[in-house]
């Protein structure tokens, strides 16, 4: 949809765009949260073995990674509206496939369904970048972080819809455990409609018609330094995600081995997730105020503190819980600041492509971190896992110091 820049109130449009993205994120998060929380149960039931309990989460992660670049290319060609709307509706199809696979007791088909459902995660990641298309440089961090923060509603509400989903499933005669997918389908359908109808004019397509605004975060010294900073930002995001996924995934295993009850384990993970999303606007504001790389360093400091708590307090569930909260906060600060830095440095038609690569590498790093954490835990224990993760944090901090010089602030 082509609109002359002079005829558009960009401030009002940016405000409305963020509102549409937040609404879509809440709906999409509720849908995804309602079904992903029972992924392990369905995997065990359909496969007949507890060894496949983590297969649904793995398939979802791989699906999100595989969809990142194609969805970004679609945004580059047709705009955010089509990309986000299409991705959300594709996730709806994934939910339907999971229901069919459960009814047929077809485990490979179940994994395919969860992989397609993982596209919802890709939509969530790319929605944060969509919030920056029309944002002023000094407000990009806040705009992006508000969309990240809106994920909190879905994460909190979704898993609590398991009981209503069971009742819906009984009324509709659906296979056991799949009633939540009715909620997911409805929520995803509404979210898709919100994106397709609400993102008019398309923020990305409109942004390509606007003059480039000088940006304080762009370094002096040309494209070479800019590329180095983009590489650094993507690497920092990926490292923070890998550390977060690896430590978070092994925490329930570690706590259960120390006799911690399921209720306390669940409470610990809930607090961790709240830390990931709940204070995102604070970190967005901070990155706008002090700069992207300093904001990233704040995130790395929080992750380092988290690793100290879980490493030295591995035998104390309270200290582990504190560490998991700090880990969520550190992930939030690192992801928000790093994503804002990518949005600062990449302009024009290359923006969706580089942002898609960012999401691909981030998802892949999470998969590697989760897969590697198990063997590391078995070899060196929970404290040893924290020590290995600390080496990754140290590498990011050293890289941040090396690239800090070219920035304007």
pLDDT bracket for residue 158 (50, 70, 90): low
DSSP state of 159: G
CA dihedral of 153, 159, 163, 165, whole degrees rounded to 10: 80
Mean per-residue pLDDT over the chain, rounded? 85
Per CATH, the number for 223-404 is 1.20.1250.20
Q: For residue 349, what pLDDT is reported?
A: 75
Residues 241-268, mean pLDDT to the nearest whole number: 81
**Per-residue CA distances from 400 to 231, 361, 393 (Å):** 11, 19, 11
Name, in order, each residue with C-beta under 8 angstroms of 136's C-beta and a sequence gap of 6 or more.
213
pLDDT above 70 (res 403): yes
Beta carbons within 10 angstroms of residue 399's beta carbon: 18
CA distance 81 to 98: 26
**Superfamily (CATH H level) for 5-207:** MFS general substrate transporter like domains (1.20.1250.20)
57, 240, 262, 366, 384 from 253: Cα distances, Å:
16, 21, 11, 18, 15
Mean pLDDT of 237-259: 86
CA 307 to chain CA centroid, nearest Å: 21
Q: CA-CA distance, 193 to 183, in Å (whole number)?
A: 16
Within 105-179, residue ranges assigned H as helices are 107-117, 119-130, 140-157, 162-172
Q: Residue 147: CB partners within 8 Å, gap ≥ 6?
A: 18, 21, 22, 25, 127, 128, 130, 131
Pair 219, 226: CB distance under 8 Å: yes
Backbone angles phi, psi at 257, to 5 degrees: -65, -20
In this predicted structure, which of 189-193, 195-199, 259-263, 394-398 has the lowest mean pLDDT? 259-263
| Fold equal for 5-207 and 223-404 | yes
Tokens at 247, concatenated? 């430590």
For the chain, what are the domain ranges?
5-207, 223-404
Which residues are CB-contacts of 124 (< 8 A; sequence separation ≥ 6)?
25, 28, 29, 32, 151
pLDDT at residue 217 greater than cutoff 60: no
Sign, Cα dihedral of 307, 309, 314, 318:
negative
Nearest residue to 359 (alpha-carbon basis) of 192, 88, 129, 199? 129
Q: Which tens digits make up the pLDDT trace of 375-400?
A: 888 888 889 999 999 999 999 999 99
> Taking the alpha carbons of 252, 253, 258, 261 in that order, is the dihedral positive or negative?
positive
2 — pLDDT class (breaks 50, 70, 90): very low
Q: Are 209 and 5 in contact (CB under 8 A)?
A: yes
Contact in structure between 109 and 235 (CB atoms under 8 Å): no
CA gyration radius, the chain: 21
pLDDT tens per residue across span 309-331: 999 988 898 999 999 999 999 99
Q: How far apart are CA 390 and CA 402, in angstroms?
A: 19
Q: Cβ distance 141 to 295 under 8 Å?
A: yes
Report d(CA 292, CA 298) in Å as an integer.
10
């Amino acid at each position: 949809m082509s609109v002359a820049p002079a005829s558009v109130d960009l401030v009002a449009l940016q405000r409305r765009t963020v509102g549409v993205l937040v609404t879509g994120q809440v709906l999409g998060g509720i849908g995804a949260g309602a079904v992903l929380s029972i992924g392990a149960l369905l995997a065990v039931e359909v496969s007949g073995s507890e060894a496949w309990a983590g297969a649904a989460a793995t398939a979802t992660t791989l699906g999100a990674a595989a969809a990142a670049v194609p969805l970004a290319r679609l945004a580059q060609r047709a705009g955010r509206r089509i990309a986000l709307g299409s991705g959300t509706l594709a996730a709806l199809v994934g939910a339907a496939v999971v229901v069919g696979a459960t009814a047929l007791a077809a485990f490979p088909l179940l994994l395919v369904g969860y992989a397609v459902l993982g596209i919802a995660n890709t939509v969530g990641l790319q929605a944060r970048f969509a919030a920056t298309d029309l944002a002023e440089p000094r407000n990009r961090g806040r705009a992006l972080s508000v969309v990240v923060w809106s994920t909190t509603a879905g994460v909190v509400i979704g898993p609590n819809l398991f009981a209503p989903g069971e009742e819906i499933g009984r009324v509709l005669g659906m296979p056991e455990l799949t009633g939540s997918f009715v909620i997911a389908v409805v929520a995803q359908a509404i979210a898709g409609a919100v994106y397709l109808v609400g993102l008019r004019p398309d923020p990305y397509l409109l942004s390509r018609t606007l003059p480039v605004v000088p940006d304080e975060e762009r370094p002096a010294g040309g494209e070479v330094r800019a590329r180095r900073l983009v590489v650094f930002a993507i690497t920092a995001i990926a490292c923070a995600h890998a550390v977060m996924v690896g430590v978070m995934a092994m925490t329930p295993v570690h706590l259960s081995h120390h006799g911690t009850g399921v209720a306390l384990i669940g409470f610990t993970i809930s607090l961790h997730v709240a830390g990931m999303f709940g204070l995102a606007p604070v970190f967005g504001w901070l990155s706008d105020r002090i700069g992207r790389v300093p904001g990233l360093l704040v995130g790395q400091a929080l992750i380092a503190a988290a690793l100290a708590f879980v490493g030295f307090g591995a035998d104390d569930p309270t200290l582990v819980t504190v560490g998991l909260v700090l880990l969520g906060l550190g992930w939030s600060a690192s992801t928000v600041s790093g994503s804002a830095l990518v949005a600062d440095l990449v302009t024009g038609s290359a923006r969706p492509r580089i942002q898609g690569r960012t999401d691909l590498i981030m998802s892949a790093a999470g998969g590697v971190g989760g897969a590697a954490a198990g063997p590391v835990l078995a070899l060196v224990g929970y404290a040893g896992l924290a020590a290995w993760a600390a080496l990754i944090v140290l590498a990011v901090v050293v890289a941040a110091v090396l690239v800090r010089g070219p920035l304007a602030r």
